[in-house]
Structure 1
């Protein structure tokens, strides 16, 4: 009997293509776009590179760096967490979250080394760093020293970054549980269970804390708002409608992080919709048909998204009207979009970064990270991070790189 099975999102395109399609349609669904030559050559400056353990490899982990002041923090799946000077890459401290970190003798004798299975993070708040593991632990470290302050077990795997706000930490797990924890002690304030279907994507929505509520997407394609102080549901709104006849076709996970701008909530689901909702009531303001399991980004009056098939799209925040879409990166397993200078940046499974003009949607620069790859068929990724004029990239093999790009005028 199939119970709460998880599937990697990137493998679905190929699987779905085999469910009753014509041969040419199958080829279209599974084909990967070849990169077109660019008319312009733009030099990307590599400021520095540093190693962050062994990275996440082929495992499903979402461990993105985070910048606080002059420091950038990064982590590896095995359990290493490091702090670097964000300007020159000098290491400030290194920590290991495992209760019994391996010693040098362990490596010399080639003894088995247990992984911490870090899978969700990093979140910086309250002078601490917060992260989660596949074994169901939430862990807090001091930003200043890297000391492990506490670890608390919750119900289910934590494969998305914890949320911080209003004096609390919130996490969602693959078992459908949402929990609120005290940031200083790790004490659980409440845990609430949401529905999980028999088959869902391998991932969970990272919660958002805003206006006294915890907002989180569910595996049943709904946006749920939970009162932070009581742990009881305030309202729930479907953002996807179950369609199709097979289990795979009926996947409707809302695994993307909810975006809150003022009193408006923006959410997106796989095989579902991009919706704008009123924060207080849950009333739908507008709805557009897009499918994605990646987080969305916004700047000023524009929202940017990468859909499940690799298109990058710009829409108006006020009404959801599409401004432009770029489909040149079809099936290239894109990261979520980030705003960098006058471009939108996405990475792909071959280690390329594509710089897309914010106004026109045209790819105007490209950079390939050496020997690195960003996404793969197992899912998980480390999204690029922007701070000041630098773009920080952590590849799946654990290389953290700071790059800069001049203002591009094509």
Structure 2
């Protein structure tokens, strides 16, 4: 069948989102009156803290409703630079920061300004599902670096080194990770830095959107802080969605070498222009305000993550690398089970349980569940999962 003549090759090649497909089907079943338990959500179940909302309302009343600089509110850029310098020990100035419409736009902009057609991007798997598609939209070739539950989803540095070629341009890091909840240890990052020092053509993007959501006793390390000598080729992507429960606000940022950030700003000026002006005042309040709200949410996630983890480990036939951060678990299905897409479809249709197939994240043997729901929903979901496993 011929392709529609009005669609570009790049968009025809895009893979549809499995998460959106599952979500749409779950909503359709709910509208039909079905009892649906969703453990698929990728966002906090808390409301945005009141002091952030108050700052945003004040900005509206003060007339902060006009166009702003494409790179972001100068005060917010300065606050982000201060946060990175002091909290992450990554020396940063405001000129190295671009405020974006969510972390996703930060990644998209970065790929567009540093990747050329034919460049290779190395993506450890399991991965957040949008990484490969955004890299391909920039004309890059994607090479995944598989890991397994059996090795704790650790990045195989021997495999990484063997995968490096003359066109390798970018390595992606995500810690704490989606979907596995894995947190990269300091020693692991140090060893990785040693390897990358021998390959000066490779840039690094560190996605740190879940940096605050850590199991007690765990610590987040920015790659730039571990390897300051590589900061001239390292980019940080982060935002306000997860830590401050601000998913709908669409507030993210890109930080890194000033020349690339300047180029990404130029790109943004020709696409979306500035992020919502008054929403940026809410982000500024988040950075300058108390972190007690963040700590309270993290404490709740930790309790619920433990509940989800213990429940999954008790299910016959399932195996799990216990997550140490973010708000997901990525258990492996029994060997005799269906593939992840078929299993999730069956669980939704027959047991009203919504999960995300591991195939969306590059591992068809697993499924992703969230603990960003109530304890009652977690327990309900685990019981439905138990029944789904028996049927499969």
TM range (shorter): under 0.3
Q: Which of the pair is proportionally richer in helix?
A: 2
User: TM-score under structure 2 normalisation?
Assistant: 0.23
Determine which structure has greater relative contact order: mean sequence separation of CA pairs < 8 Å that are 6+ residues apart, divided by chain length.
2
User: TM-score under structure 1 normalisation?
Assistant: 0.22
Q: Which of the pair is proportionally richer in strand?
A: 1
